[in-house]
Amino acid sequence: MVSGSGTNLQAVLDAVREGRIDVEIAAVGADKPCTGLERAREAGVETFLVRPGDHPDRTRWNRALQEAVAAREPDRIVFAGFMRIVDAEFVEAFAGRIVNTHPSLLPSFPGAHAVRDALAHGVKVTGVTVHEVVADVDAGPILAQAAVPVEEGDTEAQLHERIKAAERELLVRTLGAAARQGALHDAR
């Protein structure tokens, strides 16, 4: 699932294509048209779009998204820069099978502005967390983390780029481990 530029998705697509991880991407879904969806199409992967604006309320959008995901019968669902919060029923439907990547060392700096918040706090080290999704936002068992130093004078964009480089590698590594181990929590 993606919402933006999809560079994390691209890293997974590349790893699959090059046979570095034993994963098959059933489909890529999004909440809005985005570069991530284009990357999937270019790689010949099926895509789907479930927009909140096309549904009368948040609950019905959640159910539509849930149906679209369930129809692909995934073993795992990866939120790779998917910038929407799904409800508890969605999480329950795929319990233990959803992975999220977040650009901070959780539990520090949850939420949509993790990089900005870390900079504002003046931390010297931040990073990335790949974790299992539970009903609470940016909570859930941590599967893997990587630290990224904050450099003097870093802008949010510069720091986020360095975090994303670490993030792509960590996500691919964690998905590869999960594929080998079977259960997500065994990828820790």
- Hey, which residues are catalytic here? 102
For residue 4, state whether it binds ligand GRF (rule: CB under 6 A).
yes
Considering only 61, 93, 103, 119, the residue that binds ligand GRF (CB under 6 A) is 103
Shortest Cβ 12–ligand GRF spacing (Å): 10
**5 or 47: CB nearest ligand GRF:** 5
For residue 7, state whether it binds ligand GRF (rule: CB under 6 A).
yes
Q: How far apart are CA 148 and CA 126, in angstroms?
A: 5
For residue 39, state whether it binds ligand GRF (rule: CB under 6 A).
no
Considering only 65, 78, 98, 102, the residue that binds ligand GRF (CB under 6 A) is 102
Radius of gyration of the chain, Cα coordinates, nearest whole angstrom: 16
How far, rounded to the nearest angstrom, does the alpha carbon of residue 51 sit from its chain's CA centroid? 18
DSSP state of 27: -
Q: How far apart are CA 40 and CA 80, in angstroms?
A: 13
Do residues 97 and 119 touch, judged by C-beta distance below 8 A?
Answer: no
Considering only 21, 23, 80, 170, the residue that binds ligand GRF (CB under 6 A) is 80
Q: Which tokens in the block code for residue 173?
A: 């590594």
* DSSP string for residues in 159-187: HHHHHHHHHHHHHHHHHHHHHHHSSGGGG
Q: How far apart are CA 129 and CA 108, in angstroms?
A: 10
Do residues 69 and 98 touch, judged by C-beta distance below 8 A?
Answer: no
Q: Is 6 annotated as a binding residue?
A: yes
For residue 127, state whether it binds ligand GRF (rule: CB under 6 A).
no
Q: Is 62 annotated as a binding residue?
A: no
Q: What is the number of other CB atoms lying within 10 angstroms of the CB of residue 120?
A: 11
For residue 81, state whether it binds ligand GRF (rule: CB under 6 A).
yes
**38 or 63: CB nearest ligand GRF:** 38
Considering only 101, 109, 130, 148, the residue that binds ligand GRF (CB under 6 A) is 101
Interacting residue ranges for ligand GRF, rule: CB under 6 A? 2, 4-9, 36, 80-81, 101-103, 164, 167
Residue ranges for the binding site? Answer: 6-8, 58, 83-86, 100
Residue ranges for the binding site for (6R)-10-formyltetrahydrofolate? Answer: 58, 83-86, 100
